[in-house]
Structure formats: structure tokens, C-alpha cells
Amino acid sequence: MAVQTVATDTDLSLGPAAALSCRECGERFPLGPVFACEACFGPLEIAYDLPGGDPEELRKRIEAGPDSIWRYASLLPVPADVADKPNLNPGFTRLVRADNLARELGVTGGLYVKDDSGNPTHSFKDRVVAIAVEAARAFGFTTLSCSSTGNLAGAVGAAAARAGLRSCVFIPHDLEQGKVVMAAVYGGDLVGIEGTYDDVNRFCSELIGDPIGEGWGFVNVNLRPYYAEGSKTLAYEICEQLGWRLPDQLVVPIASGSQLTKIDKGLRELIALGLVEDRPYKIFGAQAEGCSPVARAFKDGHDVVRPVKPDTIAKSLAIGNPADGPYVLDIARRSGGAVEDVNDGEIVDAIKLLARTEGVFAETAGGVTVGVTRKLIEAGVLDPTLTTVVLNTGDGLKTLDAVAPTTGPSAIIRPNLDSFREAGLA
């Protein structure tokens, strides 16, 4: 594995982050821009010295913090003065109590939508990029980069602009117009690659090993251990917004699977810190049928995730070879959850269902989680009498193409009352 040789700050200050540790063999390494274990090539993640002490005091300190993910800075690999740095400060998005949707789906135990469309670039990716930017700064990178299914490219472009870094991001060339424009508008370089996301990702791995990539921080490759931690903030916020309580069931979308695994990590940390009561929760993974390698493995009872070639309108989730697939399977099985998929028609129906019942316009990934929630309730797998949180990770305005063919004006009329009467809407 090529290890980046950028200026390494010997006095790295990334808050409570203590080391990198291998998720497979447990070997520990000093903090740096590396993502795979030298001993066994397993993925690395951050190990912490988390704050001890009175949970009530920690809860109070968090509640007095900024209305962004930085209220949890003491649990993240970021410098203590992170809130003073040029960063997009994402997070603390709304948790919508979805009573209308609950009635429609027959949920009686309380149904909530965690709506991450409210982030600065309108997807959950701002959370992970915010952490990666701080790591890039700490390691002295001058260019911020990524391989993206769309949302990440926009989040990196915006965060780099704000942080005063150069950006050069890579996407499959055939993404939705909304995603392409959002990735380009912040002024960095955007490169479309003729291939799938998995091709883009392979290309980026090559770039890292080449002298061209020197000084480049790829948020989801060589900065991945830091980046991934951003997803924990979803778990923290959901519990805080429920009144420092664990939900019973969570429905989470899967692209690479990173978000789902880190939500689990975040929940376990809250329990370990005594911030929430220790009781069981179930995590359900959601995929689109046109790219459902993890759901397939779950249903077949396999531990190995067999790569697929994606073909779905849920392009933000279209990763055919998900890096965290096996860990997702483990979490779903261990927690008593499941991994399920829905087809493109069901995704569109679910987007419209959520919009119609709660006034929340989700991108296709939100259609996937709402659709899977409905399917799992109908199948008797999700318990409607328990508190359930469904994630909406992106904004419907970015994937208008998905709903446009079946959504439009009820009528087009001349500007007079007769014409309106004739339309049958009066």
C-alpha cells in the first residue's frame, strides 16, 4: 500500500483521537493519512480516549454547544477549537415526528424522519466531509478530492471552497444534472469518468499511489478513517433529539455501508459514556433492488458480499462493491435487524408518500429507506409498536428526474373562473 509522504505534523491535535486501529487484527498505528493495516490490510478506524466523568455534566456541555456537529467535538477526531475554523459546520438537522406517515404505515410506537436534506449542500455527506477537512488541514494536504456517487462531490467542492483548499473531485459521467451542477458550482475541478462508481474509486486508488496525487487528501480513501467518523453524529443527534434515548429501530441507507456501521459505533459510544440507557436497538439496512449486494447476501445467509453492476435511479447509493458490506451484515444480524431492498417504482412511490404525508421531499436515497420501512412493516419484520427512526439523507431537488415523469400540475387552465371550474378542481 502506498503511504502518503506529506508533511506530518508531529504535534497532531485531533481532539480525543488517540490512534488508528485495525478493524480486523486490532493492531494500532499513529494518526496519519493511512487507511489500511500494514499487517493484514484490514480497514483502519479511529481509537479514542473518550472523556470520562459525570454523564449529566457531559449532556449539559453538549446541549450548550453550537447547533452543528461541533456540539459533539469532544467525541470526534477534530481539534478542540474546531468551531473557530472555516468549515461548513453541518449537522443538528431536524428530527421530524412523522405522525401522518405513521398512520399511513400503521406505526403506533412513534415514527421519526431524521432529515439530513437540511445540511449546507443538502445531503448527509457534509457531516463526513467536515471531519475530513479538519484531518486534511492537520496533515498539510493542499488539495481535497474524492470518488463520488454525486453528493460527496458537491460536499467536497463546497467544503474546500470554504476552507481555502483546492478541490478536484471524480464522479461517474452520467449522474443527475442537479448533482453535476452542485459539484461544479463551487469552482473546483470536477472530472466525469466514463464508468461506474466502482471504476471511479479504482481510478482514485491509482491516483493516490502516483506522484500526481501527492499532497491530495481523498476524503473517502486516504482520509477515510476520519471521514467515516462524521456519520456517528447522526446517532448522537437522533438520541439527543429523542431526549437522550435510544430509538428501538433505525432504517439506514447503504452505499458503501460506512454510514450504517458508524451509526452503530456512535450508539455504542453513547451507551459506554452513560449518555443513554443501555438497551437493545435494531439496525435495518436499505438498498435499491438495482444495486443490492448487501441485501442479497443478508437474504442468502452469506458473510461475503458479491459485487454487482448497479442499475437504479438511486444513484447516490449505487456502489456495486461496498467496502463495509461485511460489517453491515454483521451489525444487522447481531442487532436483530435486516437488510432489504425496493425497486425503482417503489422508491418513487415512497418519495411521494413522504412528501404527501409530511411535507418532506427526499432524494431517491430517502425513497429507498421509506420504501424499505414500508416493506419491512408489511412483512412483519419491523415492529410497528416500537420507536422507529428513518433516515432521509438527501434533498429531492437533487433528483428531480426520478419523480418528474409522474409529477406535475393537476391542470393547466386559462386565467378565468370558468376554466378553473371546467378543470374539476373547484
Ligand X SMILES: *Cc1c(COP(=O)(O)O)cnc(C)c1O
Binding site for ligand X (CB under 6 A): 123-125, 151, 253-259, 316-317, 363, 365, 393-394
- CA dist., res. 122 & res. 138, Å (int): 26
Task: Give the angle subtended at the CA of 316 by the CAs of 310 and 320, to the nearest 5°.
Answer: 30
Nearer to ligand X, 254 or 331 (CB): 254
- Residue 296 is placed in which grid cell? 442479497
Q: How far is the CB of 344 from ligand X (least distance, A)?
A: 16
Q: How far is the CB of 327 from ligand X (least distance, A)?
A: 11
Nearer to ligand X, 235 or 254 (CB): 254
What DSSP string describes 6-49?
S---TT---TTEEEEEETTT--EE-SSS--B-TTT-PBEEEEE-
SS (H, E, C) 236-248: HHHHHHCCCCCCC
Nearer to ligand X, 153 or 376 (CB): 153
CB atoms within 10 A of CB 422: 13
Q: How far is the CB of 258 from ligand X (least distance, A)?
A: 4
Nearer to ligand X, 224 or 374 (CB): 224
Nearer to ligand X, 339 or 376 (CB): 339
Q: How far is the CB of 257 from ligand X (least distance, A)?
A: 5
What DSSP string describes 159-187?
HHHHHT-EEEEEEETT--HHHHHHHHTTS
Nearer to ligand X, 79 or 290 (CB): 290
Q: How far is CA 262 from CA 129, 130, 170, 181, 407, in A?
A: 14, 15, 24, 29, 36
- Using alpha carbons, select from 130, 122, 166, 129 the residue that is nearest to residue 148: 129
